[in-house]
Structure 1
Amino acid sequence: MNILVTGGAGFIGSNVADAFKKAGHKVVSVDNMFAGNMRNVSKGIKFYKMDIRDKKLADVMKKEKIDVISHHAAQISVPDSVKNPAFDADINVMGVINMLESAVQAAVKKVIFVSSGGTVYGTPAKLPVAETHPYAAESPYGISKVAGELYVKFFAAQHKMKYTIVRYSNVYGPRQVPHGEAGVVAIFIKKMMSGAAPIIFGGGKCVRDYVYVGDVAAANVLALKKGDNNEFNIGTGTPTDVNQLYKAVQKVMKFNTPAVPGPFREGDILANVLDNKKAKKILGWTPKVRLIDGVAETYKYFKSL
């Protein structure tokens, strides 16, 4: 297949692009380089510096004869979305609409749309949260991801295009940047490498579901041929609070200094863990990397820079 990865020079998108390439597909990457890095773009992946809001995106899709789009390009920070909702919506809603209109013009067969299992459900009624939980986003970022999902479904129905929505939990791993939804792993590692104690916000009680980027990439490869017109949680189903995560990073890095306490962050949800049974059943996907091993791989990456 010919696959276009938007946000392909970013943390998750570049790892997914590599997995597609390894599976034998022709991969094209677009990124506006706002948060991307060319060192993340592997040899053999054709790269275009382009914003997803650019009307020339359709020309790239036509030229490269794209069959499937894996849409990772996004404004990824919850706190930034709270500060500037219009900027968030411009990228995460208007950018998605432009991507979908371009896909229609280029006769793309399928869109794999990346959503946020950590925010679209809001504060879940029960944990782990399943895909049947209603939308209840509490931040502009979550709201824009809900809108993106609905636009994908609308365009798919109107134009007989297939889609798979993948709702990630908190993704971490090599190439992670120290901001965004799950940037805490990278933040902890970089701070500890500099010898400084990281800040833990809100007493470290926020519970998250940390999934390794290699496992996320594997889910995208499976979604090329499975899970049409459906949505899936991509997470481990294992709850980990920030204090537990801190201890895991301390253990890997042999760092003994306690964290600095910080205030609760606006827009943060207290607890979110994803039920992944549907992904296991339909996609045949199971997360394989344990948190301690994934943190070790991430640390190894930062040491290599």
Structure 2
Amino acid sequence: MSDRPVVVTGAAGFIGSNLVLRLLEDGHRVIGVDDLSTGALGNLAVARERHAGRFEFDRLDIRQGGLPRLFERLDPEVVFHLAAQVDVRRSVEDPVHDASINVLGTLAVLEASRAVDVRKIVYASSIGSYGEPSEHELPVDESFDRPALSPYGVSKRVAMDYLRSYELLHGIDWTALTLANVYGPHQTTAGEGGVVATFAGRMLAGQPCTVFGDGEQTRDFVYVDDVVHALVLAADRAPGRRLLIGTGERTSVLQLFRALAAATGYPHEPVHAPARDGEVHHSCVDARAAARELGWKPWTTLEEGLAATLAWAAGTSRA
């Protein structure tokens, strides 16, 4: 990347705040954009303290017309588009709200980028944008394509179609990373990896933990630092490609519960509740294309990632 700044939408959120810090530590000028509806300024405290001269934060809703003026003033080279509504349950309850952020928000980013000739858009998509694979299909690769089970998944698929359309119509370069279940520091209970944050917080507080369904549903949990590394690599590689980012390993919700319980000394059994609408039973991705196209592989084991997440959560609870 050149001396032009980069923009991170959703900068105060879970993945966004980790990405901001990585980009600053790599020497970039970074413009963080977030409306703080779900993100928190506290997530950017280290970035603001250590890199005040190269970091600017702008509080704005990407849907409300402020992006074109911001982009005209700053002339960004690359946009990492992470701003999104990520709660599957909320998308089922309020699909219009979900689409307004995930579809119209993405269109606003594309229009602002087109106006100033942004070199590259790196888009954070989700495995939740695809439907239920059968167990013999796991891990799924980029050829897997099944209708989404939730409005959230639909909205993320629509955004992908707009990226392809803007490439054809306006020559905008992009790479989309379809992320497995991301977890790590700064995570809230929303999103597909939010079960880690939920269990960790409740165990540290000695509160009951709820497992929805039978607990045998499996996920591909990938640590946030590994995901951030993939996003950074995508700024200069894999044009026009959608790549899956995950570990290729399946962990059941009950296995996750037991691992966190052992690490925290949590003595209680989980409380079971009915399965939730719109969620797949099994999910796991094959990231070999990302290895070829990005030179990326996950390096953090689940044990290492959970330990780091618990250390962060324990520090937050004491603060």
TM-score, with normalisation over the residues of structure 2?
A: 0.93
Distance 1:237 1:190 in 2: 26
Distance 1:135 1:63 in 2: 41
Deviates more, 1:272-281 or 1:133-142: 133-142
Instruction: Give the counterpart of 1:235 among 229, 232, 246.
Output: 246
Q: Does 1:159 align with 2:162?
A: no
Deviates more, 1:38-47 or 1:240-249: 38-47
Task: Please tell me whether the aligned partners of residues 135 and 146 of structure 1 are also in contact (alpha carbons under 8 angstroms).
Answer: no
SS at match of 2:125: strand
Q: Does 1:127 align with 2:138?
A: yes
Distance 2:176 2:159 in 1: 10
Aligned to 1:38: 41
Instruction: Give the counterpart of 1:294 among 295, 305, 309.
Output: 305
Instruction: Give the counterpart of 1:81 among 79, 91, 103.
Output: 91
Q: How far has the Cα of 1:16 moved from its partner?
A: 1.1
Q: How far has the Cα of 1:40 moved from its partner?
A: 1.2
Aligned to 1:21: 24
Task: Please tell me whether the aligned partners of residues 11 and 17 of structure 2 are also in contact (alpha carbons under 8 angstroms).
Answer: yes
Q: How far has the Cα of 1:171 moved from its partner?
A: 0.4
**1:76-114 residue CA offsets vs partner (Å, 9 max, x unmatched):** 000110111111001100111111111111211110011
Aligned to 2:63: 53
Amino acid paired to 2:159: G
TM-score, with normalisation over the residues of structure 1?
A: 0.97
Amino acid paired to 1:272: S
Q: Does 1:272 align with 2:283?
A: yes
Distance 2:284 2:191 in 1: 17
Distance 2:256 2:164 in 1: 36
SS at match of 1:203: coil
Q: How far has the Cα of 1:121 moved from its partner?
A: 2.1
Distance 2:295 2:100 in 1: 35
SS at match of 1:28: strand
SS at match of 1:211: strand
Distance 2:240 2:190 in 1: 31
Distance 1:268 1:109 in 2: 35
SS at match of 1:111: strand
Distance 1:272 1:296 in 2: 23
Task: Please tell me whether the aligned partners of residues 132 and 146 of structure 2 are also in contact (alpha carbons under 8 angstroms).
Answer: no
Distance 1:71 1:194 in 2: 34
Distance 1:112 1:135 in 2: 23
Distance 1:3 1:253 in 2: 39
Distance 2:26 2:58 in 1: 22
Amino acid paired to 1:170: N
Gaps of 5+ in 2: none
Instruction: Give the counterpart of 2:80 among 46, 53, 70.
Output: 70
Q: How far has the Cα of 1:162 moved from its partner?
A: 0.7
Task: Please tell me whether the aligned partners of residues 82 and 123 of structure 2 are also in contact (alpha carbons under 8 angstroms).
Answer: yes
Amino acid paired to 1:179: A
Distance 1:17 1:229 in 2: 23
Distance 2:244 2:159 in 1: 16
Instruction: Give the counterpart of 1:11 among 9, 14, 25.
Output: 14
Amino acid paired to 2:63: R
What is the aligned residue count? 304
Q: How far has the Cα of 1:54 moved from its partner?
A: 2.0
Aligned to 2:227: 216
Task: Please tell me whether the aligned partners of residues 138 and 285 of structure 2 are also in contact (alpha carbons under 8 angstroms).
Answer: yes
Amino acid paired to 2:247: T
Amino acid paired to 2:158: A
Distance 2:189 2:149 in 1: 23
Amino acid paired to 2:70: V
Distance 2:38 2:29 in 1: 24
Q: How far has the Cα of 1:135 moved from its partner?
A: 4.1
Q: How far has the Cα of 1:286 moved from its partner?
A: 0.5
Amino acid paired to 1:8: A
SS at match of 1:39: helix
Distance 2:80 2:166 in 1: 15
Gaps of 5+ in 1: none
